[in-house]
């Protein structure tokens, strides 16, 4: 089936099902292009709440679909590729987290949204890469357990007086971006600003002109007077950057900055999910309620930007 026909069939089924398509910035460009809304993981879940659609087709990995199901239990959430999992989220298990909490009684757990619903439910509060520092500083505690990303934990630790107890997890895509990659690209593009996601290694972030979330990187690029940017995150963001700042030039930090899980969703799988209403994401109610409490606490934190 040709791409144009695929897109038309998706549009028809979307109307029939009263569905909305949400896509993460790291998805394939053609998937981003057919989405009703493109954003980072939390913004997409919040958009799922705002939408009046009966069906949410979530083009992303499993924890993102779970987050939408947590916040919008009355809607049907479909994941086009059920095997699209986040390696970093998989590095934090429920029993392991419980054991860690036993080692530090009374210490609150701050949970990055890149985690399973069960881990969110076992945590006190969630955070995103955009608000992690503010979330940690909002807590009435001298130390916190930060799960599951040790690189984001190190970034937060450098910007707070609180003691951060990090989890030994990481995003493989961001973690394999090396200091040498940055230095090489800076030498090749001396006029370019280097923007980086806080899931990168600390020694990489030290070289950044701006450290920001995916959406924050787009806003910085749009507002900056610079014309060229070296992009230190998953390569899919460049599609979004070019859409919002087409007059500027963006260089992917390395061809290896590509998340295989995020690229598993394609137009054929989006169509199949709508045709068959398959791969429904569900979260047990007891877990959903507790996970939502952690997300609600995060949403109550005021961000001064």
Q: What is the DSSP letter of 107?
A: P
For residue 166, list its beta bridge partners.
146
pLDDT score of 151 more than 80: yes
Q: What is the DSSP letter of 290?
A: H
pLDDT score of 303 more than 60: yes
Q: Which string of b and e fits 4-37 if b means at least 16 CB within 10 Å?
A: eebbebbeebbeebebbbbbbbbbbebbbebbee
When pLDDT is cut at 50, 70 and 90, the band that residue 7 belongs to is: very high
Assigned fold of 177-252: Rossmann fold (3.40.50)
CB 40 within 8 A of CB 215: yes
SS3 content of the chain, % helix, strand, coil (to 5): 45, 15, 40
Residue 145 backbone phi and psi in degrees, to 5: -90, 130
Span 88-142, pLDDT tens digits: 999 999 999 999 999 999 999 999 999 999 999 999 999 999 899 999 999 999 9
Using alpha carbons, select from 96, 90, 60, 37 the residue that is nearest to residue 281. 60
Cis amide bond preceding 148, omega within 30: yes
pLDDT score of 193 more than 80: yes
Q: What is the pLDDT of residue 95?
A: 97
Q: Which two tokens stand for residue 86?
A: 């986040």
Span 37-61, pLDDT tens digits: 999 877 887 888 898 999 999 999 9
- Residue 4: strand, helix, or coil: helix
Q: For residue 179, count CB atoms less than 10 angstroms from its CB and return exposed for 0-12, middle for 13-18, buried for 19 or more.
A: middle
Lowest mean pLDDT among 43-47, 139-143, 176-180, 263-267: 43-47
pTM: predicted TM-score of the whole model, two decimal places: 0.94
Q: What is the DSSP letter of 277?
A: T
pLDDT score of 305 more than 70: no
Look at the block and give the residue holding tokens 């924890």. 63
- DSSP strand pairing (210-211 vs 163-166): unpaired
For residue 280, list its beta bridge partners.
78
Q: What is the pLDDT of residue 304?
A: 57
CATH architecture of 3-85+262-282: 3-Layer(aba) Sandwich (3.40)
When pLDDT is averaged across residues 219-240 and rounded to a whole number, the result is: 97
Mean pLDDT of the chain: 95
When pLDDT is averaged across residues 158-186 and rounded to a whole number, the result is: 97
In whole angstroms, give the CA distance from residue 170 to residue 164.
16
In whole angstroms, give the CA distance from residue 61 to residue 264.
9
CB 164 within 8 A of CB 189: no
When pLDDT is cut at 50, 70 and 90, the band that residue 300 belongs to is: confident
When pLDDT is averaged across residues 210-224 and rounded to a whole number, the result is: 96
Q: Which CATH number fits domain 88-170+287-299: 3.60.21.10, 2.60.260.20, 3.40.1160.10, 3.40.50.10800?
A: 3.40.50.10800
Span 14-30, pLDDT tens digits: 999 999 999 999 999 99
CB 167 within 8 A of CB 148: yes
pLDDT score of 181 more than 70: yes
In whole angstroms, give the CA distance from residue 257 to residue 170.
14
Question: In the chain, which segments carry CATH 3.40.50.10800?
Answer: 3-85+262-282, 88-170+287-299, 177-252
Provide DSSP, 147-193. ESBHHHHHHHHTT-SSEEEE-SB--HHHHT--HHHHHHHHHH-TTPE
How large a percentage of the chain has pLDDT more than 90? 93
């Amino acid at each position: 089936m040709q791409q144009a026909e695929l897109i038309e069939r998706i549009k028809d089924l979307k109307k029939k099902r009263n569905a909305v398509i949400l896509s993460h910035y790291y998805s394939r460009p053609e998937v981003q292009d057919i989405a009703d809304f493109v954003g980072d993981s939390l913004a997409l879940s919040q958009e799922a709440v705002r939408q009046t659609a009966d069906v949410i087709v979530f083009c992303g990995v499993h924890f993102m679909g779970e987050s939408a199901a947590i916040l919008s239990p009355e809607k049907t959430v479909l994941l086009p590729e059920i095997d699209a999992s986040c390696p970093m989220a998989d590095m934090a298990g429920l029993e392991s987290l419980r054991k860690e909490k036993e080692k530090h009684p009374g210490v609150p757990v701050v949970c990055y949204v890149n985690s399973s619903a069960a881990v969110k439910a076992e945590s006190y509060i969630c955070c995103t890469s955009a608000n992690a520092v503010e979330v940690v500083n909002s807590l009435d505690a001298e130390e916190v357990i930060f799960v599951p990303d040790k690189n984001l934990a190190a970034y937060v630790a450098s910007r707070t007086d609180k003691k951060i107890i990090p989890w030994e997890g990481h995003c493989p895509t961001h973690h394999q971006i090396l200091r040498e990659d940055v230095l090489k690209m800076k030498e090749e593009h001396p006029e370019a600003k280097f923007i980086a996601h806080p899931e990168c290694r600390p020694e990489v972030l030290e070289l950044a002109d701006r450290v920001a979330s995916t959406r924050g990187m787009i806003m910085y690029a749009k507002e900056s007077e610079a014309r060229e940017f070296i992009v230190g995150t998953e390569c899919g963001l460049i599609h979004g950057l070019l859409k919002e700042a087409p007059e500027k030039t963006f260089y992917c930090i390395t061809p290896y900055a590509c998340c295989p899980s995020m690229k598993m969703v394609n137009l054929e799988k989006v169509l199949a999910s709508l045709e068959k209403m398959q791969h429904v994401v569900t979260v047990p109610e007891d877990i959903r309620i507790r996970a939502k409490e952690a997300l609600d606490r995060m949403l109550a934190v005021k961000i001064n930007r």
